[in-house]
Structure 1
């Protein structure tokens, strides 16, 4: 049950993110912003960088991988020239956070044909279910170097 990666031959990451996977998320979504805060807090090794899809880096990465930043249907985790999306992206994030979050990798045993429709349902209805922020997510000062 390997991850499904979308590969691009062009360089995808800004130079200052080299060596760090980048999570591109919806900074206006309450659920997405809460998840970004969670990652910043529990990614104690500083493995990930984050970019809101509303920003320059995030929207460029979405376009780079063929996703319309004005109407995204997924968050992505960009690592080098590949991007993981949908449930593969989420599971990659939690798998990299270490214990106990890595235990969520057990959901890789659930076929993607079941995981992804559930993910897409939540993604399509994220504002209706969880709400929309008035302003884009702004992290605490100690996390600013990890925001692109």
Structure 2
């Protein structure tokens, strides 16, 4: 499995917490994380048609493809270790249903989880 890039909204509390969660549980350092608001993130977001100033999804970029919404979440889960991988069973749910649920959470994420003023990741040497 090759390394993949997770392009996320660094100003979103849910997104930032999810990134910290995934970074601690990733297998074989299979993921690197880039905030859309960073210079590198802005370029990647633009290349894949996502507005970095008002994103409605995150992306997982791997093997020359960009996954978004529920497909991106499932692709991230595939690269994690531990019981959380069991959530991959959601891949059997119809994509329109998965994306509908993803969109409901994404639309309300700042209301429920707040905004981040800085993008804080754990140190790179932390497992």
TM-score under structure 2 length normalisation: 0.90
Check if 1:93 corresponds to 2:79: no
Aligned length: 125
Q: Offset of 1:52 from its aligned partner?
A: 0.4
Over 3 Å counting, the alpha-carbon distance change for 1:109 and 1:143 in structure 2 is: same
User: 1:21 offset after TM fit, Å?
Assistant: 0.5
Q: Residue 46 of structure 1: which of 3, 11, 29 is its match?
A: 29
Determine whether 1:137 maps to 2:119: yes
In structure 1, list runs of 5 or more residues that go unmatched. Answer: 1-18
Deviations 1:79-117 (A, max 9, x none): 142100000100111121134222111000110110101
Runs of 4+ in structure 1 off by over 3 angstroms are none
Match for 1:83 among 66, 71, 75?
A: 66
Question: Displacement of 1:56 after TM fit?
Answer: 1.1
Could you tell me how far apart the structure 2 residues matched to 1:92 and 1:59 are? 22
Higher CA-based Rg: 1
SS of equivalent residue, structure 2 residue 87: helix
TM-score by length of 1: 0.78
- 1:11-60 CA-to-partner distances (Å, cap 9, x unmatched) read xxxxxxxx520001111111101100011111141110000011011111
SS in 2 for 1:72: coil
The match for 1:9 is none
Equivalent residues of 2:8, 2:58 under 8 A apart: yes
In 1, distance between residues paired with 2:25 and 2:85?
11
